Structure 1
Amino acid sequence: MVQVRVAGVALDASGQHVILLKPIDEIPGEGMVLPIWIGQLEATSILVAVEQAPVPRPLAHDLMREILETLGASVVRIEVSRIEEGTFYAEITLSTPLGERVIDARPSDAVALASRVGAGIWVASAVMEDAGVPDVLTETDAAERMDEFKRFLDEASPEDFEG
């Protein structure tokens, strides 16, 4: 397993959202990055959590966090455990009053939840080897991503977060 962090959320050439997971011990522009394509709502949820942006109403992953806290459970870690036929699979490990439990999840939901509760994010070494790509992020790319997110927040309205 390789511990990773959210290096960013971007749009690919076709306008699809992609989350970029990077080993925590590698600097931007070096090593590998794991791209996982996700939906727009999940991308928004992850960005809101990573940037600690205020939202007018709780998002689905905020609700998940509140439910877990209310039930006395906590997220121990999440793992992107495997990839099969281009589909990534993740697991959320919970500490509960009844002991540790592992729950199957989509990587986007698992990362969004982990980003809210400060849980570690891990990727199976085989997944990183199979699906990781060289990280060629430039400072200009990073600045453009941040500008894009700031524009999103400036233009977002409370209705954009309604389910």
Structure 2
Amino acid sequence: MSLVRLNIKGISYSQTQNGAYALILNEVDGDRKLPIVIGAFEAQSIAIALEKEIRPPRPLTHDLFKNFADRFDIVVKQVIIHKLVDGVFYSSLICERDQIEEIIDARTSDAIALALRFQAPIFTYKNILDKAGIYLKVNPKKDEDEDEQDSILVDDLIAEEIEAAAIEKEGYKDKSIEELHSLLEEAVNNEDYEKAAKIRDEISKR
């Protein structure tokens, strides 16, 4: 599978949902965008790394990781967004120490925050970019400026997530306790912690 290099265009925010952000990645040799919904903390960490003039008084978590890696001569060479399952992006850090390469699993938001600090390139596979573009229904209007397009895009992403969560929540009502526990274990194994939290809430209600 061929890799496609991505650049960070910036971070956009939702005009309708407080605390909702999307990281906008651009295809280097193309026009497609890859928007990824991220949390407020990760958005702040990425924004600080993008703005070179901003220096937090104490190291953030990603700065601490970078300092730790520097101390032990570990380098993040590149980040690869390698999988997309049910709207969740999975990423890997390609690291090197003493000319030995290691692959470390990471949340995509954390991987991007670290890529910025290590000045490491970001890649994804072509089939993921194709799939995500269709999945996210990216179709900006020509008469809108880019920032407005990004904000509208974030609103669309959040609306889709809320709708999917509502449908999912309704589906749990018909499940037995045993089925819910099985779904909870499956969600944890798949590292889908948001889904696990919803299932746990349903179990607590019972």
TM-score, normalisation: structure 1: 0.78
Q: How does 1:12-161 map to 2 (within 5 A)?
A: 12=14, 13-15=16-18, 16-26=20-30, 31-52=31-52, 53-97=54-98, 99-132=100-133, 133-134=138-139, 138=145, 141=148
Q: Which runs of 5+ in 1 are unaligned?
A: 145-163
Following superposition, the deviation at residue 123 of structure 1 comes to 1.3
The secondary structure found in structure 2 opposite 1:55 is coil
The aligned length equals: 139
Q: Could you tell me how far apart the structure 1 residues matched to 2:41 and 2:10 are?
A: 15
- Larger % of helix: which? 2
Q: Could you tell me how far apart the structure 2 residues matched to 1:139 and 1:98 are?
A: 42
- Larger % of strand: which? 1
What one-letter code is carried by the residue in structure 1 that aligns with 2:145?
T
Q: Could you tell me how far apart the structure 1 residues matched to 2:132 and 2:108 are?
A: 14
Following superposition, the deviation at residue 140 of structure 1 comes to 5.7
Q: Whose Rg is larger?
A: 2
Following superposition, the deviation at residue 51 of structure 1 comes to 1.2
TM-score, normalisation: structure 2: 0.62
* Identity among equivalent pairs (%): 32
CA spacing shift, 1:47–1:135, aligned 2, 3 Å: farther
Q: Give the structure 2 partner of residue 159 of structure 1.
A: none
What do you get for the CA RMSD once the two structures are aligned? Answer: 2.0
The secondary structure found in structure 2 opposite 1:82 is strand
1:54-98 deviation per Cα after TM superposition (whole angstroms, max 9, x unaligned): 111111111111111111110110011110111110000001126
Divergent runs of 4+, >4 A:
134-137, 139-142
Following superposition, the deviation at residue 25 of structure 1 comes to 3.1
What one-letter code is carried by the residue in structure 2 that aligns with 1:57?
R
